[in-house]
Structures are given as structure tokens and as C-alpha cells.
């Protein structure tokens, strides 16, 4: 467990000076605190017993002055400790967020957003609390015990031995407590992550929940996760409640023993009353930090469990390029797949993929759901890497390209577009934040989004709700398409990017895209044959393999899977033509 703090040392090492100054002030604070027993001893022996009342005023003034100085030191050391913890957490938070942004696509296939949020907030805060308070508490405990025992030995070695005899009991108890508490707090952190994941997922899918009237089901599911989190917390509380009373009991036993033995020493004239009062005062100063040992172990164990969860993110293999020397030249647009295969888990989702797309060509991908179309295009921008074979851009293996340089020249419009909670203008200009207004408007016009944007209350400055709330599915797709167009990429990937628009709008977008696609390599994934029949090459996928390839006319003539899909899509139209009925204009435009 100690390795957690060593592996995270790069975040707190730059601020150790703050910690050292804080601990230095803590030493002075502890020393002033332990000066009180000597002052009390002098008051009892000189004023109460010796009747030197003239010494009462200076001794009282000394106690008041010590209290004031101690207060200043205490505030300063606590403030510096807070700064130390906050700066460490600040750097750690930035590193976590940066790391999450550089994780590979596959990472997000296996994690829950709510759990990541829990790590970024609750776990990080537990780690911060330990650095802001826990280290100082431990140091305070150690200093108080060491200085306190030293003072006791100078006052009366017999009473000091009586008290130190109880120390091994406390040490063994603390070790056993920590061993039991650590796995419990791991469960607390894990169940909290599951709870947050459930809340996040439910809120994001609230429309679906309500449309299926599943409110009660989701509430029950939340109650189960909440109960698991509550149970883990209660288990930790029970362990802590067993430990804390025992520590208090040992402390009280020590006080009773000191009173018994000390009282006998005073009555037998082996010790004066002032020394006993001073000794008891030191004991009470030691009992308080010792009673806080439970709080410290609680804080330390939570921080350790939290640190382990943070390290799971920080030490996950990067999606960054291994070297700055990788190729980052301009992309011309030639794409080659050579014996490419992709394996996910135990299943091959792509196998033996071979084709070449020359610069400026349009390649269409068609196939039933799960055929591997999206996986294939995800290899072009290195969203994923091939398990076998290789993908080449302009004749260069794609693994040699700098990811950032490559992705800046590959525009992607997804079937399920994501829009940020900002203005429509900012969403379109996301890939080119400094784009001119006229360029943004031109991209929106090509994507057939300009008209509906101009009708919005604030036009391009209209704020979009979370994940594009407030816009229809088709409107979101058109904004996302404009975003890809504005990037002016050498390679354009349209992943069923017009599936949510009506056929007439799709036709108008396709006509506008002809100009955009000219001179750039374009990959089109579509379920409507009308969206891809003008492609230079159509690849038909089935079961992760290319089963047919050719132009629209060639594939129709082959009477294979492509012709089968074509017949299914247009059988109604064909039946209407056979009966002499007139097809709608928009549909005719698609069949052409």
C-alpha cells in the first residue's frame, strides 16, 4: 500500500517545501503546547504550595503568551498544509483529465462515466484530505508521543514506564485495525463508483425510462446500489467504532494507573504535587492525539484505497505516440488495407480486408448491422489499431503517422453525433475554433443546416442543451456533418451521417456534398443504397469480410447480397411502378 504514495510522488514532490515549513511550525506548536505542564508545575509548586503569589502574574502571562504564539503557529501550519494538499490535488486532477483524454477508444468500451466521475471527485478529495490533514495529524501524534515521553522521563521515570507499557497494545491494535479497514474502504470506493454510474446512466436515459414507464424499476435498481454503498459504509463504521472505544479505554486505564501510582509517590514524599499535576497534564496532551489515531487511520486508509483507484487511470497504457519523430506530413488521401483483421475479445469482427482507395475516390460500405463497417473506418483515423495486417495512408503504415496530425486531416461524422453544451457556432467550429464566420456558415449550408439555424432565436449563437437537447435527431446530424465539413479534411468519413434526416433532405445534402467530396477521399457508411450508389467503389461486408465489391451497376448485375438488399429496399417502389402508380419526387431522385 505504501507503493501507492511512492507511485504518486511526482504530484506532491514539487510542493514538499510547503510541507516541510508546515511541519516545522508543527514542531514549534507541539513544543509550546508541551510547555504548559512546566508552567502548571511552577504555579502549583511556587504559588499554591510555596505561597509565592507574586509569581502568579508572570506565570499566567507566560501561559497567555504561549497560547497566542501557539495559535499563530497553528493557523500558519494548517494553512500551509491545506495549500500543500490543494496544489497536489490540482496537479493530480489535471493529470487525470489529461490521461482520460489520451485513453484509447477501447478504454471507454469497458468503463462507466459515473465511476470515472467518482474517481475524479470523491477519490481525489479523499487523497487531498490526507495530504491536507492526515500527514500533519500523524506528525503531531509522533511529536507529541516522543516529546511527551521524553518529558515524562525527566519528571518521573517510574510513571513514564507505567504509561509506555501500554504503547505496544495500541500499536498492535492499530495494525490489526488497518488490515481490516483497507479492504472495507476499497469496497466503499467501488460501490460509490457503481452508485454514481447508475445515477449518470439513468439521468442520461431519462426519456427512455419514461417512455417505457420503468421509473419503479430504475428506482429499485438505484436502491440496490445505494444499499450496497450504505452497507459498505456501515461495515467501515462498525470497525471504526470497535477501535475508537478501545483506544479511549486504554487511555483512561493509563490515567487511572498514573493517579494510583502517582498518588502513592506523592503521599510517600517521593514526588511533589506540582510534578504529578504536570505529569498528568502531559498525559492528557498525549491522550488526545492518541485518541485521534482512529481518525488518522481512517483518513489514511481511505486515501490509500482512493489512490489505488486513481492509479488505475494514471497507469493505464497511453494512446499517445511513442515518438515525436513519427510522420506528421500532409495527408494526400490514398488509403490501403492489406490483409487487415480486428479481434475484439475472442471474436474476429474483421477478417482478410483488402482494398485500395485512391485520392479523391469515394468508397461506400454496405452491410447488415454488425458486419464491421464502423470498425473498418475507425482504423483509418486510428481510433483502433488492426490486430493483424496493416493500414497504410499514402503508402506509409498508419502506425508511423502522428495521431494528432492524422486526425486533424480526417473528418468524421457519426451516426449518433455528440454535441457539446455550447453554441451551435462553437459546435460547428469545434475542429477549427478560429474559423471565420463565413466559413462556418458555408459548412452549415452544405450540410443543409443553415436554414433551421437561422430560424433559431439566437441563430448560430443559440445555446445547445446537454448532448444536443433541443434539436431533433436530423438537426444534430446536420450540425455534426457541418463540423466535419468545416475541418476541410483530406479524408472524409460519413458513418450513416444522414440516417436521421428525411429522404428529401438527404438527397439535398448529397447533392451539396458532391462538391465537398471532390478531390478528397470519402468513405460512406449507409443503410440506404440511394446514399452510396454513386460511389467509385462499393464494398459489401458480411460477417466482417468483404463478400462483394464493385460499382452500383456491377453489383446489381451480380445478383448477390447487394442486389438482395436493393430489392428489399425498393420492392415497394417497384410494385408501385408495375401498377402504374406515381412515385414521390424525392424517392425518384434517390433511385435515379
Where the chain has pLDDT below 50, the residues are 1, 322-324, 572, 574, 576, 580-592
Residues 10 and 82 in one domain: yes
Tell me the pLDDT tens digit for each residue of 96-108.
888 888 777 777 7
User: Which among 257, 292, 293, 295 has a CA at the least distance from the CA of 276?
Assistant: 257
Instruction: Tell me 201's DSSP state.
Output: H
Residues 157 and 76 in one domain: yes
List, as one string, the DSSP characters of 471-540. Answer: S-HHHHHHHHHHHHHHT--SEEEEESTTTTS-HHHHHHHHHHHHHHHTTSEEEEE-SSGGGTTT-SEEEE
In a domain? residue 518: yes
Residues 92 and 151 in one domain: yes
Residues 86 and 218 in one domain: yes
Which of 462, 488, 514 is the endpoint of a domain? 488
Burial of 132 (0-12, 13-18, 19+ CB in 10 A): buried
Tell me the pLDDT tens digit for each residue of 471-513.
877 788 788 888 888 888 889 888 875 655 566 666 666 666 6
- Sheet with 388-393, edge to edge strand ranges: 347-357, 335-344, 388-393, 396-397
Residues 334 and 481 in one domain: no
Segment holding 339, helix H or strand E: strand 335-344
Give me the pLDDT at residue 425, please: 93
Residues 307 and 440 in one domain: no
Which of 283, 314, 345 is the endpoint of a domain? 314
Give me the pLDDT at residue 142, please: 79
Give me the pLDDT at residue 319, please: 61
Which of 443, 467, 488 is the endpoint of a domain? 488
Give me the pLDDT at residue 292, please: 64
Domain extent for 370: 330-409+490-592
Residues 514 and 569 in one domain: yes
Task: Give the CATH number for residue 144.
Answer: 1.20.1560.10
In a domain? residue 320: no
In a domain? residue 321: no
Residues 471 and 497 in one domain: no
Give me the pLDDT at residue 535, please: 87
Q: Answer yes or no: are the C-beta atoms of 12 and 131 closer than 8 Å.
A: yes
**Domain count for the chain:** 3
Instruction: Tell me 328's DSSP state.
Output: -
Residues paired with 570 in a beta bridge: none
Give me the pLDDT at residue 355, please: 94
Give me the pLDDT at residue 47, please: 67
d(CA 466, CA 469): 5
Task: Catalogue the long-range contacts made by 129-133 (C-beta closer than 8 Å, 24 or more residues apart).
Answer: 129/85, 129/299, 129/302, 129/303, 130/85, 130/299, 130/300, 130/302, 130/303, 131/12, 131/81, 131/84, 131/85, 131/88, 131/89, 131/303, 132/81, 132/82, 132/84, 132/85, 132/86, 133/81, 133/85, 133/299
Maximum distance among all Cα pairs of the chain, rounded to whole angstroms = 126
Give me the pLDDT at residue 576, please: 45
In a domain? residue 322: no
Residues 365 and 460 in one domain: no
Tell me the pLDDT tens digit for each residue of 423-445.
899 999 988 888 899 999 998 98
Residues 250 and 346 in one domain: no
Q: Answer yes or no: are the C-beta atoms of 279 and 155 closer than 8 Å.
A: yes
In a domain? residue 319: no
In a domain? residue 341: yes
Which residues neighbour 71 within 8 Å (Cβ) at sequence distance 6 or greater?
none
Give me the pLDDT at residue 207, please: 62
Report residue 47 as a C-alpha cell.
504559588
Which residues neighbour 125 within 8 Å (Cβ) at sequence distance 6 or greater?
89
In a domain? residue 343: yes
d(CA 271, CA 260): 13
Residue 321 vs residues 324, 325, 335: alpha-carbon distances, Å: 7, 9, 20
List, as one string, the DSSP characters of 462-482. Answer: PBP-GGGTTS-HHHHHHHHHH
Centroid of chain to Cα 126 = 15
Give me the pLDDT at residue 340, please: 94
In a domain? residue 323: no
Residues 88 and 69 in one domain: yes
Task: Give the CATH number for residue 435.
Answer: 3.40.50.300
d(CA 5, CA 189): 18
Burial of 298 (0-12, 13-18, 19+ CB in 10 A): buried
Residues 347 and 481 in one domain: no
Residues paired with 463 in a beta bridge: 423
Amino acid at each position: 500500500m505504501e507503493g501507492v504514495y511512492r507511485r504518486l510522488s511526482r504530484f506532491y514532490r514539487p510542493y514538499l517545501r510547503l510541507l516541510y515549513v508546515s511541519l516545522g511550525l508543527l514542531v514549534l506548536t507541539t513544543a509550546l503546547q508541551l510547555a504548559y505542564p512546566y508552567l502548571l508545575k511552577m504555579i502549583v509548586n511556587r504559588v499554591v504550595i510555596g505561597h509565592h503569589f507574586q509569581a502568579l502574574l508572570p506565570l499566567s502571562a507566560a501561559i497567555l503568551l504561549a497560547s497566542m504564539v501557539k495559535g499563530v503557529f497553528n493557523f500558519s501550519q494548517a494553512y500551509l498544509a491545506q495549500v500543500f494538499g490543494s496544489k497536489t490535488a490540482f496537479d493530480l486532477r489535471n493529470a487525470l483529465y489529461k490521461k482520460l483524454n489520451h485513453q484509447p477508444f477501447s478504454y471507454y468500451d469497458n468503463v462507466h462515466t459515473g465511476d470515472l466521475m467518482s474517481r475524479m471527485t470523491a477519490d481525489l478529495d479523499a487523497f487531498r484530505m490526507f495530504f491536507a490533514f492526515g500527514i500533519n495529524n500523524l506528525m503531531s501524534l509522533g511529536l507529541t508521543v516522543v516529546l511527551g515521553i521524553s518529558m515524562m522521563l525527566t519528571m518521573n521515570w517510574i510513571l513514564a514506564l507505567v504509561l509506555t507499557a501500554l504503547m505496544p497494545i495500541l500499536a498492535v491494535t492499530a495494525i490489526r485495525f488497518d488490515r481490516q479497514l483497507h479492504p472495507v474502504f476499497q469496497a466503499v470506493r467501488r460501490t460509490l463508483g457503481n452508485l454514481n454510474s447508475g445515477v449518470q446512466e439513468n439521468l442520461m436515459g431519462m426519456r427512455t425510462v419514461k417512455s417505457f414507464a420503468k421509473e419503479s424499476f430504475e428506482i429499485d435498481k438505484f436502491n440496490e446500489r445505494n444499499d450496497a454503498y450504505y452497507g459498505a459504509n456501515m461495515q467501515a463504521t462498525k470497525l471504526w467504532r470497535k477501535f475508537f472505544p478501545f483506544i479511549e479505554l486504554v487511555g483512561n486505564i493509563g490515567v487511572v494507573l498514573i493517579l494510583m501510582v502517582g498518588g502513592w509517590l506523592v503521599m510517600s514524599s517521593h514526588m511533589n504535587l506540582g510534578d504529578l499535576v504536570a505529569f498528568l497534564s502531559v498525559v492528557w496532551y498525549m491522550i488526545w492525539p492518541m485518541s485521534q489515531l482512529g481518525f488518522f487511520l481512517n483518513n489514511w486508509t481511505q486515501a490509500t484505497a482512493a489512490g489505488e483507484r486513481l492509479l488505475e487511470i494514471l497507469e493505464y497504457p497511453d494512446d499517445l505516440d511513442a515518438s515525436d519523430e513519427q510522420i506528421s506530413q500532409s495527408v494526400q488521401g490514398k488509403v490501403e488495407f492489406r490483409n487487415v483483421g480486428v479481434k475484439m475479445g475472442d471474436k474476429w469482427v474483421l477478417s482478410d480486408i483488402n482494398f485500395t482507395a485512391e485520392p479523391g475516390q469515394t468508397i461506400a460500405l454496405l452491410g447488415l448491422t454488425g458486419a464491421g463497417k464502423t470498425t473498418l473506418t475507425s482504423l483509418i483515423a486510428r481510433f483502433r489499431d488492426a490486430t493483424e495486417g496493416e493500414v497504410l495512408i499514402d503508402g506509409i503504415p498508419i502506425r508511423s503517422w502522428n495521431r494528432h496530425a492524422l486526425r486533424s486531416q480526417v473528418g468524421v461524422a457519426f451516426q449518433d453525433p455528440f454535441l457539446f453544451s455550447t453554441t451551435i457556432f462553437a459546435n460547428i467550429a469545434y475542429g477549427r475554433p478560429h474559423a471565420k464566420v463565413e466559413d462556418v456558415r458555408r459548412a452549415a449550408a452544405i450540410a443543409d443546416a443553415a436554414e433551421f439555424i437561422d430560424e433559431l432565436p439566437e441563430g448560430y449563437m443559440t445555446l445547445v442543451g446537454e448532448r444536443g437537447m433541443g434539436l431533433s435527431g436530423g438537426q444534430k446530424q446536420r450540425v455534426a456533418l457541418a463540423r466535419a465539413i468545416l475541418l476541410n479534411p483530406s479524408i472524409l468519413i460519413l458513418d450513416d451521417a444522414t440516417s436521421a434526416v428525411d429522404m428529401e433532405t438527404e438527397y439535398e445534402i448529397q447533392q451539396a456534398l458532391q462538391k465537398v467530396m471532390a478531390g478528397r477521399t470519402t468513405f460512406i457508411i449507409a443503410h440506404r443504397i440511394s446514399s452510396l450508389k454513386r460511389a467509385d467503389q462499393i464494398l459489401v461486408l458480411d460477417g466482417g469480410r468483404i463478400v462483394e465489391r464493385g460499382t452500383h451497376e456491377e453489383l446489381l448485375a451480380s445478383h448477390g447480397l447487394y442486389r438482395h438488399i436493393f430489392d428489399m429496399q425498393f420492392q415497394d417502389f417497384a410494385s408501385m411502378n408495375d401498377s402504374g402508380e406515381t412515385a414521390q419526387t424525392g424517392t425518384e431522385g434517390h433511385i435515379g
